[in-house]
Amino acid sequence: MSILKAAIIGGGNIADNNHIPALKELGDQVEVVAVCSRDLTKAQALADKHGIPNAFSYTGEMYQQCALDLVVICTPNHLHYPQTIEALEHNCHVFCEKPPALTAQDAHEMADLAAQKGLILAYNFQLRQSAEWELLMRCKADGLLGNIYHIKAHFLRRRGIPGWGNFTNKDMQGGGALMDLGVHVLDLALCALGYPTPDQVLGNTYDFIGKTGGKGLMGNWNPKTFEVEDAAMAYLSFPSKVSIMLSASFALNTQTDKDRNLEIFGSKGGVKLFPFTMYTEIAGELADIQFPYLEEVDMQLKNTKAFLDACQGKPSTVCTAKQGATLQAIVERIYASAES
Amino acid sequence: MSILKAAIIGGGNIADNNHIPALKELGDQVEVVAVCSRDLTKAQALADKHGIPNAFSYTGEMYQQCALDLVVICTPNHLHYPQTIEALEHNCHVFCEKPPALTAQDAHEMADLAAQKGLILAYNFQLRQSAEWELLMRCKADGLLGNIYHIKAHFLRRRGIPGWGNFTNKDMQGGGALMDLGVHVLDLALCALGYPTPDQVLGNTYDFIGKTGGKGLMGNWNPKTFEVEDAAMAYLSFPSKVSIMLSASFALNTQTDKDRNLEIFGSKGGVKLFPFTMYTEIAGELADIQFPYLEEVDMQLKNTKAFLDACQGKPSTVCTAKQGATLQAIVERIYASAES
Amino acid sequence: MSILKAAIIGGGNIADNNHIPALKELGDQVEVVAVCSRDLTKAQALADKHGIPNAFSYTGEMYQQCALDLVVICTPNHLHYPQTIEALEHNCHVFCEKPPALTAQDAHEMADLAAQKGLILAYNFQLRQSAEWELLMRCKADGLLGNIYHIKAHFLRRRGIPGWGNFTNKDMQGGGALMDLGVHVLDLALCALGYPTPDQVLGNTYDFIGKTGGKGLMGNWNPKTFEVEDAAMAYLSFPSKVSIMLSASFALNTQTDKDRNLEIFGSKGGVKLFPFTMYTEIAGELADIQFPYLEEVDMQLKNTKAFLDACQGKPSTVCTAKQGATLQAIVERIYASAES
Amino acid sequence: MSILKAAIIGGGNIADNNHIPALKELGDQVEVVAVCSRDLTKAQALADKHGIPNAFSYTGEMYQQCALDLVVICTPNHLHYPQTIEALEHNCHVFCEKPPALTAQDAHEMADLAAQKGLILAYNFQLRQSAEWELLMRCKADGLLGNIYHIKAHFLRRRGIPGWGNFTNKDMQGGGALMDLGVHVLDLALCALGYPTPDQVLGNTYDFIGKTGGKGLMGNWNPKTFEVEDAAMAYLSFPSKVSIMLSASFALNTQTDKDRNLEIFGSKGGVKLFPFTMYTEIAGELADIQFPYLEEVDMQLKNTKAFLDACQGKPSTVCTAKQGATLQAIVERIYASAES
Amino acid sequence: MSILKAAIIGGGNIADNNHIPALKELGDQVEVVAVCSRDLTKAQALADKHGIPNAFSYTGEMYQQCALDLVVICTPNHLHYPQTIEALEHNCHVFCEKPPALTAQDAHEMADLAAQKGLILAYNFQLRQSAEWELLMRCKADGLLGNIYHIKAHFLRRRGIPGWGNFTNKDMQGGGALMDLGVHVLDLALCALGYPTPDQVLGNTYDFIGKTGGKGLMGNWNPKTFEVEDAAMAYLSFPSKVSIMLSASFALNTQTDKDRNLEIFGSKGGVKLFPFTMYTEIAGELADIQFPYLEEVDMQLKNTKAFLDACQGKPSTVCTAKQGATLQAIVERIYASAES
Amino acid sequence: MSILKAAIIGGGNIADNNHIPALKELGDQVEVVAVCSRDLTKAQALADKHGIPNAFSYTGEMYQQCALDLVVICTPNHLHYPQTIEALEHNCHVFCEKPPALTAQDAHEMADLAAQKGLILAYNFQLRQSAEWELLMRCKADGLLGNIYHIKAHFLRRRGIPGWGNFTNKDMQGGGALMDLGVHVLDLALCALGYPTPDQVLGNTYDFIGKTGGKGLMGNWNPKTFEVEDAAMAYLSFPSKVSIMLSASFALNTQTDKDRNLEIFGSKGGVKLFPFTMYTEIAGELADIQFPYLEEVDMQLKNTKAFLDACQGKPSTVCTAKQGATLQAIVERIYASAES
């Protein structure tokens, strides 16, 4: 199988620390031939640091000069849509950072174009690659959980409004805690259920703390320019009575600063994901099962590999374009409910 | 102030162990003059045990023979409505076990009649009397929480479907985990918010485990006659964007068998109720506050006293007829949502 | 089924606190009609306390005057043999305290006579009735352990040489820690393996602390009259390479004063008995399983019931006469090995 | 005292990470002048990395070209015997990895030749150099333990069958868990007793998990080529009734993956080695003694120094040739018992 | 030895719950023949309850009518002096509650009169009888501590101002936390040092919380009538440079409500009393020694027995009249320092 | 503001690891232009390592050749006085290591000269810069503690007599544990109180362990040359009845080797400093407040910055010359008390 030619779009931390190192480690499947950032100095610096032959400040120039099989999009949320469309039109597979887009409409168009072109469009929801999630999917497949009927999913920070970047800018990010954090656990919850579309969605968003200010644990944010939600709560009801309770926060008066977990309730067994514990019955007794030797894995490496496998036609667990569109539509409905 | 004359309706455990002992300890406010149970033997046994002068098998006979100021209703849920109406018509104050009734309509009628008669109708939601809840209300009054905007409330058992009584009989109880357990924490959540009525309600109910059977931790139940929900999940959205997430279960594949708690999130502080912990900022730092010397209190005794105080025109924290009707309407809307 | 007539032989604590209360609770199966003790005052006091109609100081007199279906023998070890033989000859079932006898020869004779008479002879190894042991047997039956090939069994006290009774008298007890404590866990280990007879036995016994003296945690013993072993260690090798490591002590310089446990190692799973934990693989991962809701049971009550069931021809888990003889032979071989 | 000239035989990890760094740090006693490995590339790479002047692929060539005082043997077990004999015949002291040899006969010949030549032959049992073991030997010397009469020694892994090297190859290694792990704790147990020879040995070996396969925690092993024991259990009975219980496993359904400990029971005090705790009586009371400031030491460095001290005629705690032969004979008797 | 005739003076809880039960259990040494309380009803009730033949309201009457060998004084502090003098003059041994008296002068007179009369006067400092203190004295006697040179002693309550009795009345009690609590741990500290008299005393007393009011954990006290210290801190310097740091509080903003402990620092070993832990060196290593099997003892029973033993001329550990006077003088000097 | 020119006096660890790195990080305020050590080789090595342009062995030469704004004095205690005087006379600000000097007289002279010259003289008490201490000062300023009336301060090591340097040399260091460790916590305690001067001081010093020898946890010290105190205990009584209990040790038979803490007791709240916990009342209940997100800070960096700020006329929390003199006078009075 030939080596895929890849380009990186976006010159920030996530390109530098996550995507490029992962791609470099997968040298038998992929070669990074270009990096593109509006700021050419940044692009060049990244290229130099990682030994990438080309640096660009315009994607158009890049597509013209380089023969690419795929691009990795690591730019702010509002650029995901136009850059994905452009890449697909240049016949490139696309590995795009989450969330998929700012609107459901955009995400659907992206998925449709990928399908039409026969290209892979995938989103970087890394938690799918954790040892815990893989074990959950094996337990589900082995029937240990029975029918899954309710999931509680949350990703809560106590004072984790980022003091850097554009995280509190609504136009660029499309939203706050739900868009940045909630989508991670929502993706997992949907995976556990087979990625259905809910019948009903009810939710609320808040910004009391974000707009008031306070102690910052991820740098200090400016309450005066805080435009997004600091917390979002939602309930999703699916066909066959299945339901999800979803909570996400940048700032909330809660116990810990990083509390990210899912509880999956099935008719035969329930699972708390972190640390992975199963609650079930064994030999007629209530049993708690722990897995003390689960490995910590490099989730980015595994997710990048999953994307590359998909590009090469192999089975893959990466988040598909269609799943991304389904998820984006749910996010949009939560925001709509909150504003109603 | 004269001593109130009281009668007990219902001859089960809750009369024997909770209500009668509480009333006896409050001898300066109340005297128990009669006990009434369909089964006269039971009524007589209770009367003998507690030194109550009269025992009856029909309430009609009781009202005829005894001059009563109040009755305490400790019968299955479906009898709350008719017995309350009858008592009010005999000009008695009523202290009724929870839930208020089987339908919102009934609960509203009960409240209306009480109002019209100028009588006290109150419901026995004891958790309001816990030291934790009283402290919460003081903290709220002192402004330590700011605006409360979200509450997570749950009352979860792992395998606590009662193996006795009528708890799994839908006609008599009107429902399962929500009706029996969920109402306790829902009442508290509503109290914290000023007992508003939600704009929107979305919920689901389940009966997988109840209908399949399994290990019982509160005796063994019969899955063949299991007619109610073993779990209920709901989301309530109120005016001003306030929201409640509610979870209740008789049976769920979760960690502990008795997990009852509320998390109250306010703009200045948040509280986890059991054990009471506040999350806030003090002197510019994130602070966790614990209260290691909260007393355990006799909640039934305090709630009975609150009811008697209300009857005597004193300030009281007991659940009012109107609050009970509001709560019952929400419960009904959750069931309706679950069936839609 | 008619009520069995029972007599108690022996007037000590174990009769008073364990056997008689258990028999009284099982009044639908058994009636205690006599108690017999060398010391008639003791016998009469027990009879009075528990409402037993007859008290005797000679068993001969008792058999003459009472029509008995069964006897329970609660006397020092050296009396188990003659009293069991006498009872069987009077056509009584026998429930005998552990250990079965002082020698393997005696235990075999007892078993042979019971078999010949068609009577039940059983030994009071109560741990078989613990919720943990029952769960182990269910797990084994369900194949969760695979082939069991090694067991570590120990019953260790740090300074638990009893300061009362005849526990340090070799003629009356036949031995020390092995005879009194080790047999309990040896019985369980043999049960788990199907009660096989070992090919080879190697063991040692010690009496350093017992003969030196020291702090006593079960009263103060007299080192000058200490005649038995304070610790015994043994290794049993069975056909098919199965093995048991056995440790028992009245006194040992070890961490805790009461350390009684078994570890059962099987090809698919291993179990540590107290608290019950299983070590195995689930869904391809190493899993630790705990059972947080195991009930504490009244082991004496259940074991007495098991004996009565056996007398009435029902299935039973009580230790049989044949098992008792097998166990006694192993104990004898350990002592023989220790003295060689 | 002149600096000793040393050579390393074997080019694997243990040479690279343990022996060479230790020798380099002891530059005032020893100088490494050569490294020899069948694979000359490996030998040269090691020499280059550590600044060793010579690299060889044949020991014969090495002995011819270098004037050596000692060699360190870091090759697979089956080479220990021939390489030791060869080294001794070239008048070199030998520091050999454990276990001493494949057979007792070989180990005895090695010891005899060393004695005859007046050379030091020593084995690398590092645990003797731990702070815990040194403290134990001091406590024993101070009489704090009294007579030591029983030792439980175990080295258990749950799923630690090495997925690399030749650990599952019987011809090269001579055995499995006992040969690789059990010898470490057996050496300590024998040390505590003065290195006696047992009167009787009884043991068993198992290979259920090794031959079936499963989750590997030290890489993945191949069950089809698994030839050694995955677990060994043994009981050793010595003169004066002293005894050792020994357990070793590569794979066992037990709680932790690395459980290595000794319990030493003496008439005055007992010790659990890791973490070091003594159980004894002080001032007439049962006392538990902990030593919270024991240092972690570089055991390899200290053991290498102990060997060099022995070569230079100083007192030393290194495992002698005679002790090694005694240990090897016991190992052989355990295997013989297991096969009988 | 003849049975001693005893009388109880004082009709409060400490007589009823502590002293009388202890004396009754020591029936082979003592017989309680009278109880005397200003309130004859109380005296008679106590006499009836405990089967004591005589009840009096005046001690004069009691001494006239009963032939007494000893009295136990359980009255408020200001009565200790006159009642002790009276009892000694009636040739009775005296067992007096702590503290000895209101002034050093009184305590010395009491001791002098007892000495002159050849009678036992002793004070009820029970902690001397704890298993911990007895072990400390044995350790000291065995030389395990070396020279004791510094002691930290404290008895701190967070909000333990008693809401009953006369504890906050200065005239009746003579002081607050120091007089009521501090003396207990001061007595122990002085015992450990051989009951020396300090060269220098420096101390302070406080009453901020007592006079302000707040949450009460031992009932609710009245800040308006609070006359004593709520906390006292002191430093005592003795000949040979020995020193004690003493802290006592009824109310202090500290962690726990009951924090009572001593740390005794010696040249060879140090001890923290509760739970008893020794810090020393063993075999050249720093060692922490715990005593996990110390019994809980009935300290009152043992202290009463110690007093009776003293009366009968046997060796005794009870606090002597002379020690009591030494202690009282120190207390007085602390108060004097605080007021200077 | 112009960059200050600085020189380092003293070539030991504290210069190398603490002061120089801190100054280098504060390059916008200060430039290190010289390092001076009696041992020129050391001075040159430091200069080379840190890129400092000049190295000297005599301060005179240094002042002649370099135009300096400030010096940092990192030499043994007995040099603090002469080197500070010399620096001030050369018109340099001085940042001097603790303790200020060997005598109160010296410290006062140093402060007087600095005042007279209008220069900053400050001492390096770093703990003032900890997040915990800053929070304490904020809590005090916010009135959360009320009146502070008692402080317990200790800095205890179990066996931490330094085995290097001159810590046990009385002439060079002026004292032992009090001079080296106690001053740190004494400085904090005085800060909390506004740096008052005590009315009375009572204290003792000890050297039992230091002169006897034993296990060393900070290297091995020589008991034969041990001249200072290994422990010091003191009580300070201030105007308005405020008091401090102070304990410091290099060696003491206590639980842990590094136990450094302050407890600050106020009328409204109390604080235990490490980890920071406040004990107070909130909403009428006893409350414990923890601050789980306090950052660890680089205390040296912050304290150096505080000194530089003071030099530049900005507000600063660094220990002033006057405070240093007050503290030194207290230390001297403790030693005087101990010797009296």
Q: CA F123, F129, F135 angle in degrees (round to 5)? A: 140
Q: For residues E62 and E53, is the Cβ–Cβ distance under 8 A?
A: no
- Distance from the C212 Cα atom to the nearest Cα atom in chain B, whole angstroms: 49
Find all residues with CB under 8 Å of C60, minimum gap 6, and list them.
Answer: none
Record: contact D288-E287, CB cut-off 8 A: no
Q: What is the pTM of this model?
A: 0.96
Report pLDDT digits (tens) over A78-123: 999 999 999 999 999 999 999 999 999 999 999 999 999 999 999 9
Ordered DSSP codes for C172-209:
HHS-SHIIIIIHHHHHHHHHHHTSPPPSEEEEEEE-HH
Record: contact F288-B292, CB cut-off 8 A: yes
Q: Which band of pLDDT confidence, cut at 50, 70 and 90, is reported for residue B337?
A: very high
Distance CA A15, CA A117 (A): 26
pLDDT for position E262: 98
Q: Side-chain half-sphere of A21: how many Cα atoms within 13 Å?
A: 10
Record: contact F231-E150, CB cut-off 8 A: yes
What tokens appear for E269 in the block? 């070993």
Range A40-68 average pLDDT: 97
pLDDT for position B1: 65
pLDDT for position C1: 65
Q: Can you name the residues that pair with D71 across neighbouring β-strands?
A: D7, D94
Chains in contact with chain B (at least 3 beta-carbon pairs closer than 8 A): A, C, E, F
Range D169-196 average pLDDT: 97
User: Strand D231-237 and strand D200-206: pairing?
Assistant: antiparallel
Record: contact F252-E265, CB cut-off 8 A: yes
Record: contact D253-C237, CB cut-off 8 A: no
pLDDT for position E2: 87
Find all residues with CB under 8 Å of F190, minimum gap 6, and list them.
Answer: F196, F244, F323, F326, F327, F330
Chains F and B touch (3+ CB pairs under 8 A): yes
Report pLDDT digits (tens) over B37-69: 999 999 999 999 999 999 999 999 999 999 999
For D305, phi and psi rounded to 5 degrees?
Answer: -60, -40
Query: Is the pLDDT assigned to residue A248 strictly greater than 70?
Result: yes
Q: Which residue of E has its CA nearest to C159?
A: E293
Query: Is the pLDDT assigned to residue F340 strictly greater than 90?
Result: no
Chains in contact with chain D (at least 3 beta-carbon pairs closer than 8 A): A, C, E, F
Q: Side-chain half-sphere of D170: how many Cα atoms within 13 Å?
A: 9
pLDDT for position E1: 65
Query: Is the pLDDT assigned to residue D306 strictly greater than 90?
Result: yes
Q: Which band of pLDDT confidence, cut at 50, 70 and 90, is reported for residue C260?
A: very high
Distance CA E182, CA E176 (A): 9
- Distance from the A277 Cα atom to the nearest Cα atom in chain C, whole angstroms: 10
- Among D134, D135, D293, D295, most F C-beta atoms within 10 A, so best to mutate, is D293
Range D119-134 average pLDDT: 98
Report pLDDT digits (tens) over F206-257: 999 999 999 999 999 999 999 999 999 999 999 999 999 999 999 999 999 9
Range B231-239 average pLDDT: 98
Chain B residues inside the 8 Å CB shell of A288: 255
pLDDT for position B109: 98
- Among E140, E278, E289, most D C-beta atoms within 10 A, so best to mutate, is E289
Q: Which band of pLDDT confidence, cut at 50, 70 and 90, is reported for residue C340?
A: confident
Q: Name the DSSP letter for residue E289.
A: E
* Domain extent listing, chain C: 4-126, 130-339
What CATH number labels C130-339? 3.30.360.10
Q: Look at residues C201, C152, C155 and name the one whose alpha carbon lies nearest to residue D249.
A: C152
Give a three-class secondary structure readout of chain F.
CCCEEEEEECCCHHHHHHHHHHHHHCCCCEEEEEEECCCHHHHHHHHHHHCCCEEECCHHHHHHHCCCCEEEECCCHHHHHHHHHHHHHCCCEEEECCCCCCCHHHHHHHHHHHHHHCCCEEECCHHHHCHHHHHHHHHHHCCCCCCEEEEEEEEECCECCCCCCCCCCHHHHCCCHHHHHHHHHHHHHHHHHCCCCCCEEEEEEECHHHHHCCCCCCCCCCHHHCCCCCEEEEEEECHHHCEEEEEEECECCCCCCCEEEEEEEECCCEEECCCCEEEEEECCEEEEEECCCCCCCCHHHHHHHHHHHHHCCCCCCCEEHHHHHHHHHHHHHHHHHHHC
Record: contact F253-E268, CB cut-off 8 A: yes
Q: Which band of pLDDT confidence, cut at 50, 70 and 90, is reported for residue B165?
A: confident
Report pLDDT digits (tens) over F34-49: 999 999 999 999 999 9
What tokens appear for E80 in the block? 């200790």
Give a three-class secondary structure readout of B66-129.
CCCCEEEECCCHHHHHHHHHHHHHCCCEEEECCCCCCCHHHHHHHHHHHHHHCCCEEECCHHHH
Mind listing the pLDDT tens digit of every residue in chain E (340 residues)?
689 999 999 999 999 999 999 999 999 999 999 999 999 999 999 999 999 999 999 999 999 999 999 999 999 999 999 999 999 999 999 999 999 999 999 999 999 999 999 999 999 999 999 999 999 999 999 999 999 999 999 999 999 999 988 899 999 999 999 999 999 999 999 999 999 999 999 999 999 999 999 999 999 999 999 999 999 999 999 999 999 999 999 999 999 999 999 999 999 999 999 999 999 999 999 999 999 999 999 999 999 999 999 999 999 999 999 999 999 999 999 999 999 8
Give a three-class secondary structure readout of chain A.
CCCEEEEEECCCHHHHHHHHHHHHHCCCCEEEEEEECCCHHHHHHHHHHHCCCEEECCHHHHHHHCCCCEEEECCCHHHHHHHHHHHHHCCCEEEECCCCCCCHHHHHHHHHHHHHHCCCEEECCHHHHCHHHHHHHHHHHCCCCCCEEEEEEEEECCECCCCCCCCCCHHHHCCCHHHHHHHHHHHHHHHHHCCCCCCEEEEEEECHHHHHCCCCCCCCCCHHHCCCCCEEEEEEECHHHCEEEEEEECECCCCCCCEEEEEEEECCCEEECCCCEEEEEECCEEEEEECCCCCCCCHHHHHHHHHHHHHCCCCCCCEEHHHHHHHHHHHHHHHHHHHC
Query: Is the pLDDT assigned to residue F144 strictly greater than 80?
Result: yes
pLDDT for position D2: 87
Chain C residues inside the 8 Å CB shell of E293: 158-159, 215, 217, 257
Chains in contact with chain A (at least 3 beta-carbon pairs closer than 8 A): B, C, D, F
Q: Which stretches of chain E sit within 8 Å of chain D by CB?
A: 135, 138-139, 142, 144, 282-294
DSSP H/E element including C220:
none
Query: Is the pLDDT assigned to residue D1 strictly greater than 80?
Result: no
Q: For residues D29 and D6, is the Cβ–Cβ distance under 8 A?
A: no
Report pLDDT digits (tens) over A236-247: 999 999 999 999
The residue count of chain F comes to: 340
Q: Can you name the residues that pair with D122 across neighbouring β-strands?
A: D95, D320
Chain C residues inside the 8 Å CB shell of A283: 135, 138-139, 142, 144
What tokens appear for F34 in the block? 């010289």
Report pLDDT digits (tens) over D308-324: 999 999 999 999 999 99
ipTM of the complex: 0.96
Report pLDDT digits (tens) over E234-267: 999 999 999 999 999 999 999 999 999 999 999 9
Range C176-193 average pLDDT: 98
Record: contact C202-D235, CB cut-off 8 A: yes
pLDDT for position F65: 96
Query: Is the pLDDT assigned to residue A1 strictly greater than 70?
Result: no
Report pLDDT digits (tens) over C35-61: 999 999 999 999 999 999 999 999 999
Distance CA B32, CA B49 (A): 13
The fourth-level CATH superfamily of domain C4-126 is NAD(P)-binding Rossmann-like Domain (3.40.50.720)
Query: Is the pLDDT assigned to residue B142 strictly greater than 90?
Result: yes
Range B262-276 average pLDDT: 98
What tokens appear for B289 in the block? 């506050």
Which amino acid, one-letter code, is at B318? V
Q: How many contacts (CB atoms, under 8 Å) link A and C?
A: 54
Chain F residues inside the 8 Å CB shell of A215: 293
Could you identify the residue written with the tokens 């006469």?
C321
pLDDT for position E340: 85
Q: Which residue of F has its CA nearest to E234?
A: F235
Ordered DSSP codes for E186-215:
HHHHHHHHTSPPPSEEEEEEE-HHHHH---
Record: contact B286-A243, CB cut-off 8 A: no
Report pLDDT digits (tens) over A191-226: 999 999 999 999 999 999 999 999 999 999 999 999
Distance CA E280, CA E264 (A): 12
| Mean pLDDT estimate for chain B | 97
- Distance from the A286 Cα atom to the nearest Cα atom in chain D, whole angstroms: 20
For chain D, how many helices (H) and strands (E)? 13, 15
**Out of F138, F139, F283, closest to residue B144 by CB:** F283
User: Strand A259-266 and strand B121-123: pairing?
Assistant: unpaired
Report pLDDT digits (tens) over D232-267: 999 999 999 999 999 999 999 999 999 999 999 999
